[in-house]
Structure 1
């Protein structure tokens, strides 16, 4: 960050204009060098880059401008993600991490408005969950509101759409995949002090009560399962059951699994830039030795 600040101080507005002009150089290597220099300048270059992008008709230069802007914004997310995972000896903040994942694809995301939506859901449930309510009764109350009244459910028709993995999109459209719906459930339950944890079964993420073998399948509208039900579920997909599959997973593991899903999706869609960005986030959560 210090080096980036020094780089910013060395460039005037006219110099940034000149670099933007050079970005159109037909030599790819020169254009890449200019790209890297603009990214190193960072935020001070964004207004001029945005202005150039809005007034640009050359498709090649437009693509290069968009790429520089995206990389500058991703650098912000990458630094924030790095800080999130290294700033404390405590477990990483799941909510902050999930929204940083979303900001990778949606850099202009207004996170606070979506956090307020989660708060609103939790506040309604607080009125229904009396102090001392047993955990099993609490999850029934959460399930009724989240899956019946609000209509959250699994996206069966378009399972591999990357938007299923982004928390704000799940809130907007009320559909998602097992892990994103489970993350939302965990964030709501945390606000209610309901003791639930994430469970990373092979191919299917779920939530469970911390001290009881009670499992919530958020993809299937909150159906409550026993350990035997989970074993049958895995058997149906040809996976031999192991009780360790039902152990709680850490927030780091949850974020890593969300990111791995997105890397695979973007690789399959041949969207190499986003695949690379999420790979960089994955390397922060799971550093290579």
Structure 2
């Protein structure tokens, strides 16, 4: 996996965004999930030294390695993950302030030892993968879940509830409650890419920033999502609208022009042109 390295010297936001582009430029399977999540968190405060957070993530992994052995069974490995992350290091799901934006910022999750399913899931996936075992996020209609395996056995864990293992009845209840399907619950278990996990993490911040009318935070977060989504036009249009709301009219116009000149996304052109016309009126 590609691992980014930078020292304790603070860097600016533009440099961090470039490092984000580099981090996700590799194959999805080679993206260092936790490292990239730290980089996303640093975009909110570029002065933060990431070295201690990287060392903490390494410690979680080494502690799990110290309590397992070659050939350990799946249940033994899950027990080690649960003991190290949730008992020894004190992580938990934040039930009291679930919607706190800090819960989707990996730096603050590590500081506070609490988070939401996707941020805790990233920590668990990282600690698991370092052992050489396979782990992935699951496309769940409700809380984010993770799928782990060692020697071919599979298990689905709930990172918000101390990596509790879900059986078929748990999965059936979760998936049918949201989707109304009566098929075998395991048929609904679909692994998601590292990039999708990171987008889900950022989307939690984006939604909450918009809910509390924090335009600056919504803009910063959507800009990072544009990078993660490889310049998806839908995020370009949203960025233009947020810049317009912030009074950055010329910058918003530039984003709209970039969208309209690009290939595809014709379904967004009507909205983009309407916003463009409105902004032209404000410039006159």
| TM-score normalised by length of structure 2 | 0.70
The two structures, once aligned, show a CA RMSD in angstroms of 2.1
Tell me how far apart the structure 2 counterparts of residues 118 and 88 of structure 1 sit (CA, whole Å). Answer: 22
Q: Secondary structure at the match of 1:216?
A: strand
Cα distance per residue 1:225-268 (max 9 Å; x no partner): 123312213445x4334655411111111111111111111111
Alignment match, 1:240: 180
Q: Does 1:82 align with 2:21?
A: yes
Q: Does 1:111 align with 2:73?
A: no
Alignment match, 1:122: 61
Q: Secondary structure at the match of 1:197?
A: strand
Tell me how far apart the structure 2 counterparts of residues 244 and 189 of structure 1 sit (CA, whole Å). Answer: 24
Which has the larger displacement, 128-137 or 174-183?
A: 128-137
Alignment match, 1:251: 194
Contact 1:135 1:194 in 2 (8 A): no
Tell me how far apart the structure 1 counterparts of residues 190 and 66 of structure 2 sit (CA, whole Å). Answer: 31
Structure 1, unmatched stretches of 5+, are: 1-71
Mapping for residues 211-230 of structure 1, pairs under 5 Å? 211-230=152-171
Tell me how far apart the structure 2 counterparts of residues 84 and 194 of structure 1 sit (CA, whole Å). Answer: 22
Alignment match, 1:30: none
| Runs of 4+, deviation exceeding 3 Å | 87-91, 210-213, 241-245
Tell me how far apart the structure 1 counterparts of residues 97 and 205 of structure 2 sit (CA, whole Å). Answer: 14
Alignment match, 1:204: 143
Tell me how far apart the structure 2 counterparts of residues 148 and 124 of structure 1 sit (CA, whole Å). Answer: 12
Structure 2, unmatched stretches of 5+, are: 1-10, 233-263, 265-284
Which has the larger displacement, 210-219 or 253-262?
A: 210-219
Q: Which has the larger radius of gyration?
A: 1
Tell me how far apart the structure 1 counterparts of residues 69 and 30 of structure 2 sit (CA, whole Å). Answer: 29
Q: Secondary structure at the match of 1:254?
A: helix
Aligned residues: 217
1:231 to 172, 176, 185: 172
